[in-house]
Amino acid sequence: MFRRISAAAMGGLLLVASLTACGGDSGAGGGSDDKIVMGFAQVGAESGWRTANTKSIQEAAKAAGIELKFSDAQQKQENQIKAIRSYITQRVDVIAFSPVVESGWDTVLKEAKDAGIPVILTDRAVDSPDTSLYKTFIGSDFIIEGERAGEWLKKEYEGKPETVNIVELQGTTGAAPANDRKEGFAKVIGTEPKFKVIASQTGDFTRAKGKEVMDAFLKAQPKIDVLYAHNDDMGLGAIEAIEAAGKKPGVDIKIVTVDAVKDGMQALADGKINYIVECSPLLGPQLMDLAKKVVAGETVEQRVLTEETTFTQEQAKAALPNRQY
Ligand code: AHR
């Protein structure tokens, strides 16, 4: 396997010896000897974003000649931990995963480290203070995403003194994007007392939950001016609830979401969503490059930030024909 080969790569002769020795070892990683084997523990298939992210990773692995062992944790941390342990047992060359929640990873990450298997975090961070437990983290700055949503809102209501009642659909409880998007948004709108978050609840990043929770908000709250949804899917579910309640999404209730997947962008172009903060799921190619470097023992940056933008209705209309996800 690659990991052992790279350790031997210091000297030419030693490398040849190591390659030969690895030739008959079919147990490690379960792949052919010259191929890097990556174990990827995905969060689930909760949103359009996640589906696009999975596709990006699978396609990029193929293009990079990396053998991918893929698992879907169905949004459950215990499933992800099981998958990581199984990758350790299979002695893959590198493990990558997008942690469902931020906390509770130290034990399994230590197990990977003790087994000499490098770990790459993608999309979501862990809150472990020991950063030696993983090689790098590639993904968005979710706090900035929340701030961008808040900045749009401030501009939208600039010069209008009336109270703005906001309801918030949070992502999965304990997940980095839920924690950080909430924090970034609260920080920005918190400078103006007219903005009031009157209800905030998790919709678990899914369309079905977004609809269910928005329905409850509409029943409980006599006046809702704005919905801030931590992803497009929850926003799209909420739109269904708003329409079912006889209100016009984007007009009676302004909506700001995060992601910019095709369905969200279409709703923005149609005027049902008012603004979207982009979060790119196309992490596959960069992840494979990082994996190759990490397996080869090269030093990589501890944090690789994804570049993103924001969309108004006009920008969504212009971007939609070429939108990849
Ligand atoms: O971690 C990224 C978030 O997870 C996306 O914004 C959301 O759609 C997904 O479920």
Residue range 260-276, pLDDT digits in tens: 999 999 999 999 999 99
Residue range 133-157, pLDDT digits in tens: 999 999 999 999 999 999 999 999 9
- Alpha-helix runs per DSSP H in the chain: 2-8, 12-22, 48-64, 77-89, 106-114, 142-156, 176-189, 207-220, 232-244, 262-269, 284-295, 313-319
Task: Output the six-digit token pair for 7.
Answer: 């350790």
Which residue type does 188 have?
A: V
Asked if 316 and 265 count as a contact pair (C-beta separation under 8 A), the reply is yes
Query: How many A from CA of 178 to the centre of ligand 1?
Result: 9
Query: How many A from CA of 27 to the centre of ligand 1?
Result: 35
Regarding the beta carbon of 205 and ligand 1, being less than 6 Å apart is answered yes
The pLDDT, as a whole number, for residue 27 is: 37
Q: How far apart are CA 243 and CA 251, in angstroms?
A: 11
Asked if 40 and 10 count as a contact pair (C-beta separation under 8 A), the reply is no
Pocket test for ligand 1, best of 72, 123, 207 (most atoms within 8 A of CB): 123
Residue range 106-132, pLDDT digits in tens: 999 999 999 999 999 999 999 999 999
Regarding the beta carbon of 152 and ligand 1, being less than 6 Å apart is answered no
The CA distances from residue 70 to 48, 60, 84, 168, in Å, are 18, 13, 10, 33
Confidence tier at 16 by pLDDT (50, 70, 90)? very low
Is the pLDDT at 321 greater than 70, yes or no?
yes
Task: Output the six-digit token pair for 118.
Answer: 């490098």
Q: How far apart are CA 146 and CA 243, in angstroms?
A: 26
Confidence tier at 30 by pLDDT (50, 70, 90)? very low
Confidence tier at 33 by pLDDT (50, 70, 90)? low
Measured in whole angstroms, how far is the alpha carbon of residue 201 from the centre of its chain? 19
Is the pLDDT at 209 greater than 80, yes or no?
yes
Domains of the chain: residue spans and CATH: 7-139+281-307 (3.40.50.2300), 142-279 (3.40.50.2300)
